[in-house]
Amino acid sequence: MIRQPTPMAQLHAWHRAALADPSLPRHEGLAECGWYKTRLVKGGPWVAVRIWCEREIDAETGELTAPEILRCEVDGMRRDPARIWIFLTPITRAEFDALRQRQTDIPAMAATMARLDLSQGAMRP
């Protein structure tokens, strides 16, 4: 039996559909590949989240050599995608990249475990 890798278009199908229709239902514990944002604390800044499929593919045959595994990175830290899935908001890849850049440019956004009040003072964009 040949075990073919799941096509990237299929892996990201739910994410693309959710960007077009934010009310798309999701099932708890069944994470989908894509780019997302979430808050780690109430009132805290948005943090970037990505879910991807990690897989080992034989270079000669193109077959899977191990099971495909969903991985998740929240603000640069590995997390269980099934546990955080229900709290995620889908965003585009460009928004994901911009959010990560903002955390570098705006020091207040780097404190992801603290409430953030952007009205307290002037900030440079």
Sorted by where each begins, the domain ranges of the chain are: 8-110
pLDDT at 50: 96
Mark the ranges of the chain whose per-residue pLDDT is less than 50: none
CA 26 to chain centre: 15
- Amino acid 12: pLDDT: 95
The predicted model scores a pTM of 0.80
Rounded to 5 degrees, what angle do the CA atoms 28, 69, 56 make? 165
- Per-residue pLDDT, 85: 93
115 vs 54: CA distance, rounded Å: 33
Pairing between β-strand 69-74 and β-strand 46-54 as defined by DSSP bridges: antiparallel
